[in-house]
Amino acid sequence: MRALVGAGIVCGALLACSSFDSNTSVPAPPSEDAASDAALEAAPPSDAATNDVVVLPGKLVFVTKVGLAPNGAGAGFIAAANTLCKEEAAKAQMTGTFVAWLSTTTEPVGLKIQSNGPWVLRTGDLVFADRKALFTADIKKGITMHADGLGASKATVWTGTKLGGDTAANCSDWTDTNPTAVGTAGVPDDLNDGHWTYGTSELCGSLRPVYCFED
């Protein structure tokens, strides 16, 4: 098995994963003048530097930086997605219980999320006012941000879930290895008619991020 270092998830032969975050860069060393200026007036520490827990006006919802491909992994795909949600939230100094927005025949996501919200982005912007809004078309803002507040790519997102939280086409409970099989995906920036969760279809071997909801 090979480990994906950035995500902390073990990706086996059946389950592939890859980062959707292309913002990583290596900063140049500061000049002597810059170092002197920094010594005179230090910038306020960031959340990451202080390890402070961020307090938001609601529960966090975000889209992962890392993409996963079901590749027939079934329950292993769900477990990997839940772990990914937890790890990306923790790296962004967020506590709480996080659940991947993924459904199976026996466990639609509507049974997994019990909280009444509200759900917000890292910026505090409201996405869903309450549980009723979550399971209807009442979405206020697209889920287009990672847990750390960075903007996400426009990649579609694995859901296997209809508007309302019921199970949709989901690669036969994420077990299908047929190269032409498809599963339901959402479109993060589409606020119309529940398309954020039930917007398109993707081949079951495709790498896609997932939505993570704090419960």
* CATH at 170: 3.10.100.10
DSSP 84-152: HHHHHHHHTT--S-EEE----SSS-HHHH------EE-TT--EEESSHHHHTTT---S---B-TTSPBP
Say what the pLDDT of residue 18 is: 66
Q: Is 198 contained in some domain?
A: yes
Q: Confidence band (pLDDT; 50, 70, 90) for 20? A: low
Task: Dump pLDDT digits (tens) for 155-170.
Answer: 999 999 999 999 999 9
pLDDT, position 109: 94
Q: Is residue 15 domain-resident? A: no
Tell me, yes or no, whether 19 lies in a domain: no
Largest CA distance in the chain: 62
pLDDT number for residue 140: 97
Backbone φ and ψ of 79, nearest 5°: -65, -40
- For residue 102, count other CB atoms closer than 10 A to its CB: 27
Q: By residue range, what is the domain housing residue 158? A: 54-214
Tokens of 198: 């039930």
Query: Considering Cα of 207, then 81, then 55, then 41, what sign does the dihedral take?
Result: negative
Q: Judge whether 172 lies within some domain.
A: yes
Least confident of 50-59, 78-87, 128-137, 155-164: 50-59
How does residue 143 score in pLDDT terms, banded at 50, 70 and 90?
very high
Tokens of 70: 């079901």
Q: Yes or no: say if 195 and 186 are a contact pair by the CB < 8 Å rule.
A: yes
How high is the pLDDT of residue 46? Answer: 42
For the sheet containing 182-186, what is the strand order?
A: 157-158, 182-186, 200-203
Average pLDDT over residues 26-46: 42
Mean pLDDT of the chain: 83
How sure is the predictor about 52, in pLDDT bands with cuts at 50, 70 and 90?
A: low
Residue 175 confidence (pLDDT) above 70: yes
pLDDT score recorded for residue 89: 97
Position 135 in a domain: yes
- List pLDDT tens digits, range 101-139: 999 999 999 999 999 999 999 999 999 999 999 999 999
> Does some domain include residue 208?
yes
Q: Is the model's pLDDT at 190 over the cut of 90? A: yes
What kind and span of H or E run contains 62?
A: strand 59-63
**Distance (Å, whole) CA 88 – CA 62:** 9
| pLDDT over 90 at 59, yes or no | yes
Tell me if 57 sits within 8 A of 196, measured CB to CB. Answer: no
pLDDT of 25 strictly over 80: no
pLDDT higher than threshold 60 for residue 2: no
> What whole-number distance in Å separates Cα of residue 173 and Cα of residue 188?
22
pLDDT of residue 15: 59
Does residue 42 lie within any of the structural domains?
Answer: no
Checking if the pLDDT of 79 tops 80, the result is yes
Transcribe 4-59 into DSSP letters. Answer: ETTTTEEE-SS-EEEE------PPPPPPHHHHHHHHHSPPPPPHHHHTPPP--SSE
3-state secondary structure of 212: strand
Domain count, the chain: 1
Q: What is the mean pLDDT of residues 71-96?
A: 96
Domain assignment present for residue 13? The answer is no
Q: Given this model, what pLDDT does residue 11 score? A: 53
